Structure 1
Amino acid sequence: MENVEQTINRRDILKVGSLVGAVALGGLLSPMQAVSQPFKNPTRDKPLLLDSNENAYGFSSLIEKNLVKELTNMSLYPIKPEQQLLTDIAKFYNVKEDRVCLTNGSSAALQSALYAVNKMAQEANLPLRIIVPNPTFEFIEAYAKPLDPEIIKVELDSKFNFDIDKMKKSEMEFDGVSLVYICNPNNPTGNIANPNDLYSWVRNAKSTTIFLFDESYAEYVADSGFKSGIDMLKGGAKNIIITRTFSKVYGLAGCRIGYVLTTPELQKRVSEFLQLVGINFVGAKAASIALKDFNFRQYTINSNIKSREIVTRTLDSLGLKYAPSHGNFIFHEIAGDFDDFVKNMKNQNVLVGRKFDVYDNFCRVTLGTPDQMQYYVKLLKNFREKRYI
């Protein structure tokens, strides 16, 4: 069967140390094969990993088929593969290459974008303010610590939505350079921004404001109302930096390949803070191959929808609240002590996400395969019987 997706045991990969080892070993399962095999309960040595939002199906089978023949060139620097990936990404989004930066995972993309905007503030002799929703992905705050800017955290509303009005107020009243960080879908809640509110703000923001859109999970969104920052960028916006990754839907978290999409001017600024030859040979090759496998991507997305439905049906039956997730995770109420919930799950050989600010009675859980999520919701029902949740 051509272009079928594949599952892969992540612990087996870790034993050989890298994606190269996994490819060399072979023995990967296609999704069709995986579905036909009985689900095995997790064990202490092989727990169910629902904690880091990785792709439960591993990576595309095309990578296994095509990467091995490239390994003889691993003694060379990844200059050609890097350029090829840059070209492939630009072609994929129908933009010019001077709008794209390759980065060591999307985390490096976020850091470089932040430093670029900080330099813009320094050049203008203006203070920097960073505006973020709360809770959200914390890397921006971590990367900002050495710069010591003002950080404004704006709480989500009662339905887990971004409070665009309050964020906008913080931007408009500030006499300096503002960096507005929007993780869309948001991590950990999984909600998406209202496109009308957000992009009206982008169009009418002050000239000293830059919007940083972290779209690590955008490929998972099935809502027709979702609008990527890429649409605004292609529509002529000059104040947007978008970061994306191959770690999630493409299943290449271990390869650390991310990228930036922005204007040519901002691309140059971001590039100043990127590591020279910052991505690796195997990752560049694997990412170029992954872009070509539509079937794997679509299978992963469809599977994710099924898994989400399994979990939300159970949460509804248990009367537990949850955010309207559009990523490969769900943020749900546990109605009890967070640490106890994590401990009880670990005792059943299931690892779940960490605690997030403000919502200490909620847990972020990665959406694995439908079989894995059936096991998870069975535990939730058992926990309810024991009055753990």
Structure 2
Amino acid sequence: MLRRAHRPPYALVPGYVQEGEERGGGDGGRVPVLGEPMTTRIEQQHGLDAITPYTPGKPIEELQKEYAWQEVIELSLNENPLGTSPKALAAIEKALSRLNRYPDAQSYHLRRALAERFEVKPEQLIVGNGADGIILQTCMAYLDEDSEVIVSHSSFPIYDMFTQAMRATLIKTPLKNYGLDMEAMAGTINDRTKIIFVCNPNNPTGTIVTADEVGVFMEQVPDHVLVVFDEAYHELVASDKYPDTLKYIRQGQSNVMVLRTFSKVYGMAGIRLGYGIAMPETLAPLNRVREPFGVNRLAQAAGVAALEDEEFLKKSVATNHEGRLFLYREFERLGLPYVESHTNFIMVEIGPQAATIQQRLLERGIIVRPCAGYDLPNHLRITIGSPSQNARLIEALEDTLKSGVSSHVGKETRFFPKNLASHQSIRQEILEVKKR
């Protein structure tokens, strides 16, 4: 006896078609069975194909299986080699028992703690799911098809992505000596310019824009342009030439925003926590588009605790400075030019064989960042790790170069810094950090 195939009650609704059956209506279409590949007739936003997705790389666990590594040294994402602030970890553990409750939508306690730290008002702060989240909110709040955004070549690619997602026009200025050319940025401003992103220190080059350069630049920026200073690595900068951009906000200037993060010196990259500082009227449009519970309970608790962990902050800064000095010496010994860095990474010029050397290091369990995606195909960006990680990196890099994979660096390339005078100043910075 034949049984009729079971059909759900809603099969009686006009137009319902069972999986695998013909749709009817003359279009000859067949409803795909669950799991079959599908194509959509829903049109995506115009211009979305032009966006290059951000690709941080494969998960370490997947790479471990692929290469059968016994040990992995991750030096591609600019993470803190010391781990996470112990006070932040303790706060996270304490907050675990309340995960059934929604987090504070306003991040009240964290904003108050940040306001006290930076001598601003709580209403001048916005907290986000990483600084990336605030960049997205800024673009959503201020950009449309008639807007232009100015960024530098070879800078943080998130600016490009979110600008294009809002269908605004992206204007790129060239680098100058591996740094942002503020004069070129100022010269590109017009009536359509809405936002200028200034990555300082710049990622991936590690260079800074000085206080003098920022001062001259800001005098040329009209009131209708929002200048976003992305200062993810600001705690690691020891140079006395680095600008205090918060002074513009303390003075009541409404076309300035400063972005910072807990990912680097506090070792909280995995929990996603960043913040922006600006005048309340500048932040108001962002608050209209932000997620109501976008910053989770654990992140908020960890952020408040991390701000109180001065010991971990000082240790992170000192370890980074010492590692930077070690890598400078070793790169010079190996004949590899590098760009003087004010961050927890160093960009090294390898030459046309950069991709090959990056792959050889990967095969040995050492992950570094190729810079081809930043329009710097001859360079690698290398995170400053722990002393043992840095030593392993240099050992593997030297073995690779000796094995016949030449760096082929051009003679015209210069070292930055060019001599030990810069190293002496860094040594002094390390001593001063240890005394604090």
Normalising by the smaller structure, the TM-score range is 0.7 to 0.9
1:232 to partner: Cα distance: 2.6
Aligned mates of 2:374, 2:87 — CA distance in 1: 40
Q: Does 1:306 align with 2:331?
A: no
Q: Does 1:162 align with 2:180?
A: yes
1:386 to partner: Cα distance: 2.1
Superposed counterparts of 1:327-366, under 5 Å: 327-355=343-371, 356-366=373-383
More helix by share: 1
Equivalent in the alignment of 1:78: 103
Report Cα offsets for 1:52-73 as digits up to 9, x if no partner: 1111111111233444333222
1:178 to partner: Cα distance: 3.2
1:45 to partner: Cα distance: 4.6
For this pair of structures, how many residues does the alignment match? 341
> Normalization by structure 1: what TM-score?
0.83
Superposed counterparts of 1:261-272, under 5 Å: 261-272=277-288
Q: SS at the partner of 1:249? A: coil
Equivalent in the alignment of 1:130: 149
* Partner amino acid, structure 2, of 1:111: L
1:81 to partner: Cα distance: 8.8
User: Which has the bigger relative contact order, CA under 8 A and spacing at least 6?
Assistant: 1
Aligned mates of 1:209, 1:51 — CA distance in 2: 34
Q: Does 1:226 align with 2:242?
A: yes
Query: Paired residue for 1:62, among 87, 97, 109?
Result: 87
Question: Which structure's CA Rg is the greater one?
Answer: 2
Contact 1:176 1:208 in 2 (8 A): no
* Partner amino acid, structure 2, of 1:226: Y
Contact 1:184 1:215 in 2 (8 A): yes
Report Cα offsets for 1:143-166 as digits up to 9, x if no partner: 122322221111111x21211111
Aligned mates of 1:323, 1:335 — CA distance in 2: 14
Aligned mates of 1:81, 1:372 — CA distance in 2: 40
Aligned mates of 2:397, 2:96 — CA distance in 1: 45
1:340 to partner: Cα distance: 0.8
Report Cα offsets for 1:248-279 as digits up to 9, x if no partner: 11111111111110011101122122111111
Q: Percent identity?
A: 26
Query: Paired residue for 2:163, among 129, 136, 144?
Result: 144
Q: Which runs of 4+ in 1 moved over 4 A?
A: none
Q: Does 1:118 align with 2:162?
A: no
Alignment RMSD (CA, Å):
2.0
Structure 2 stretches lacking a partner, 5+ long: 1-59, 62-66, 408-436
Contact 2:226 2:255 in 1 (8 A): yes
Aligned mates of 1:144, 1:386 — CA distance in 2: 44
1:337 to partner: Cα distance: 2.1
Aligned mates of 1:80, 1:114 — CA distance in 2: 21
